[in-house]
Chains A and B, each alone.
Chain A
Amino acid sequence: MRSVYRVLAYLVALEVVIQAAAVAFAVSGLTNWIENGGVLDAAVMQSETIAFNGVIGFIVHGLNGQIIVPLIALLLLISSFFAKIPGGVLWAGLVFLTVVVQVFLGMFAGGIPELGILHGIGALALFAFAVVAARRAEAATSGLEPRASRGTADVA
């Protein structure tokens, strides 16, 4: 279960990286589209049909952020109950809580743009929490293994 915990925690961290890359790709694509004559207003945005190089970034960011990341965070929290890692539940709980906050910040940043600032900062916090959680799992695992078998530490 410790491996499950560790893998899920690293997955959350990886997802943060994907989220950042996806949204940056999308914003660059949108800028490029507007520079080349595209006109964006609320009706175009909400038609959800605009096609530009990078639009996939918005789709990935939305789908990941609203469904996949919360799901991974939830599984991480549940695995933490079984993994018996010192501080494991705490860090998984922090990850889950941060994900919930991030979802809300993301959804409401359209109305209050300043929330976007917090959303960006929250992403880095989430990345840090996820990595700490994963490292805790590694520490707990290697702590139980004799030094000689360091190379197989993750077979717990």
Chain B
Amino acid sequence: MAVPTGAATAPSPRPPRKRGGRRRTLLPVVAALAVLGPLGWMWQASLLPDSYSVMDMGYRDEGRNQGSGAVPAQGHEGHHGPAARSVATLTEPSTAPADVRVDLTARKEPFRLASGQMVEGYTLNGSSPGPVITAEQGQLVEVRLVNESVPDGVTLHWHGVDVPNAVDGVAGVTQDAVPVGGEHVYRFRADQRGSYWYHSHQVSHEQVQRGLLGALVVTPPGGLPGTTVDELALVHIYDGVRTVNGRPGETRVDAAPGTRVRVRVVNTDNGPMPVWVSGAAFRVVAVDGTDVREPGEVRDLSVEVTGGARADLEVEVPAGQAARVELGGAALLLGQGDPPRSVRPTGKLDMLTYGTPAALGFDPSAADRSFEYVIGRAPGFLDGWPGLWWTVNGHMYPDVPMFVVADGDVVRMRVENRSGESHPMHLHGHHAVVLARDGVPATGSPWWVDSLEVGDGESYDIAFVADNPGIWMDHCHNLPHAAEGLVAHLMYEGVTVPYRVGGVNEPE
């Protein structure tokens, strides 16, 4: 190519080349278009409309026989016309006065952790975490949420409680976000005892992290039986500092040796947290609000509590030293004295084999619907942003499946993760039982979950009864992942949604 022509010939090379000149200028343009064209088209196709109904999103998956049930979702709202029900009508039937009544006021304001550190965030009734809501099993709970100053609007989702759909608290799906100056009332019956939490489901990846959350504890009527001490350990990370019930570091629980303490561990963060106990054995007596049947004594193992999940640990306070419930740097000390810390045991308690089996109350082998929820990752655009985004069954948001069920269906779902990262999968409005992991059947106490850690490369077979009509999110509770499109929905036939995502509503 280097032609030693010298300065004199410099102006002349052009005329002889004229013939190929057009091709020479055209070729690079064509090549550039060949690269940019598809990119531009993909970019354009990924842009989300200003607002949309989740019912028009993606494609319908009836789950009747694998693969062939996929039909575009467009305009399928009226297909099951006779029984059409709006989400807004799916409320608690009783109009009786509530047994537990709570007013929660949401504000955008800085608050101080017990360590003195200031956090720029949000509060409920002036603090974060918000007040602990306690109810006895069977009581009617009524919570009035007032938004005083959260600019993006707020909602409250009752994580793990199978509430009526109208009060599930998902902005744009089951309600409109409550604007500044607005209010919203949530009414539901607390008929499942256990440990739960509540949090905003509007711009949740930011609002939950910055403080719009609190615990909900449903005890048996009259409280825990006997002399068991009921202790909450709601774990949340504020600006990188792990706190237990809003306090960093160690928190002491005064309890005499021999006392049994039920520690309700609630993980309100985005990833799994290992929990273990130094200085005493323990039992895992409940997971995600369901009691474990005949839980055995656990030593030298940690329990993984994933994002959004709960585990109730029962510890007997030892004579002499206190027991130390290790919560990833923070800790709960049960009893007197300073027990030594211990490093995390290498082994992990496997809930697949823990406890003893019991009847499920339904037959998963006679499933009316079977779905696949395969999580992957692929390069592309999400609302115009390039990246490696999550996929559900090979499709990128918003082209995700709408799992369709009918009232009373027995539903099986295979959740498989091939995405390179782990995901705490959370199904709203239902508890599902784990049937198998990686094809290995569950042999322990029925393992009912609402928040299930699905590690990279793992697959879980789960089943549930469709007994709570509505439209329910089925998403990753690593909330930034949900904002990156790891969201699908479960829909009951004939249910309609009057709300729209976009505009004021941004659930993730």
- Give bound CA distance, A46 to B240, whole Å: 10
Q: Is B219 an interface position by the 8 A CB rule?
A: no
Whether A46 lies near B36 (C-beta < 8 A) is no
For residue B2, CB closer than 8 A to chain A, the reply is: yes
Which residues in window 463-480 of B have CB below 8 A to A? 478, 480
- B32 cross-chain contacts in A, Cβ below 8 A: 78, 81-82
User: A47 near B: Cβ within 8 Å?
Assistant: yes
Interface readout for A68-96 with B: 1 if CB under 8 Å, 0 if not?
00100010011001100010010000000
Is the pair B377, A81 in contact by a Cβ cutoff of 8 Å? no
Q: Is the CB of A107 within 8 A of B386?
A: no
Query: Do B420 and A49 touch across chains, with their CB atoms under 8 A apart?
Result: no
Are A43 and B421 in contact, CB atoms less than 8 angstroms apart?
A: no
Bound Cα distance A107, B484 (Å): 15
Chain A nearest CB, measured from B104 CB (Å): 24
Residues of B within 8 A of A41 (CB): 271-274, 328
CA distance A146 to B5 in the complex (A): 8
Q: Is B387 part of the binding interface, using a Cβ–Cβ cutoff of 8 Å?
A: yes
**Residues from chain B with Cβ under 8 Å of A108 in the complex:** 420
Number of A-B contacts (CB under 8 A): 99
Considering only residues 261-296 of chain B, those with a C-beta below 8 Å from chain A are 267, 269-274
Contact with A along B15-50 (1 / 0, CB 8 A): 000000000000111011001100000000000000
In contact, B242 and A44 (Cβ under 8 angstroms): yes
CB distance from A139 to the nearest CB of B (A): 8
Contacts of B358 in A (CB 8 A): none
Task: Tell me the smallest distance from the CB of A1 to a CB of chain B, in Å.
Answer: 9
With A and B bound together, what is the CA distance between A140 and B2 in angstroms?
7
Query: How long is the Cα–Cα vector from A32 to B58 in the complex, in angstroms?
Result: 46
Shortest CB–CB separation between residue B407 and chain A, in angstroms?
36
**Interface of A, helix, strand, loop or mixed by DSSP:** helix
Question: B337 at interface (Cβ–Cβ under 8 A)?
Answer: no
Least distance between B241 CB and chain A CB atoms (Å)? 8
The answer to whether the Cβ of A143 comes within 8 Å of any Cβ in the partner chain is yes
State whether B7 touches A42 (Cβ < 8 A).
no
Assuming the A-B contacts A43-B271, A143-B1, are A111 and B457 also in contact, with contact meaning beta carbons closer than 8 angstroms in the complex?
yes
Q: Within 8 Å of chain B (Cβ to Cβ): is A103?
A: yes
Tally of contact residues, B, Cβ under 8 A:
41
Q: How many A residues face the partner with a CB closer than 8 A?
A: 37
> Closest Cβ of chain B: how far from A93's Cβ, in Å?
10
| Interfacial chain B residues near A45, Cβ < 8 Å | 271
Report yes or no: A107 in contact with B271, Cβ–Cβ below 8 A.
no
CA distance A88 to B28 in the complex (A): 12
Q: Report B129 CB to chain A, min CB distance, Å.
A: 15
Those of B357-381 within 8 Å (CB) of chain A: 377, 379
A48 cross-chain contacts in B, Cβ below 8 A:
270, 480
The reply to whether A46 and B478 form a contact with Cβ atoms under 8 Å apart is yes
Of the candidates A51, A78, A89, A111, the one whose C-beta lies within 8 Å of that of B36 is: A78
Taking CB as reference atom, which chain A residue is nearest B34? A81
A42 touches B271 (CB 8 A): yes
Q: Please name the residue on chain B nearest to A106 by beta carbon.
A: B388
B-side contacts of A42, CB under 8 Å? 271-273, 422
A110 within 8 A of B: yes
Interface contact B478-A110, CB-CB below 8 Å: no
Specify the chain B residue showing the minimal Cβ separation from A149.
B7
Task: Please indicate the chain A residues that have their CB under 8 angstroms from the CB of B480 in the complex.
Answer: 46, 48
A66 part of interface (Cβ distance < 8 Å):
yes
Are A47 and B328 CB-contacts (below 8 A) given A103-B388, A107-B377?
no
Separation in Å of the B492 CB from the closest CB of chain A? Answer: 32
Within 9-33 of A, Cβ neighbours of B (below 8 Å) are at none
Interface set of B (CB-CB < 8 Å, partner A): 1-3, 6-7, 27-29, 31-32, 35-36, 209, 235, 237-240, 242, 267, 269-274, 307, 328-329, 377, 379, 386-388, 420-422, 456-457, 478, 480
Give the 8 A-B CB pairs with smallest separation, nearest first.
A39-B329, A143-B2, A46-B271, A81-B28, A42-B271, A50-B240, A43-B271, A111-B420
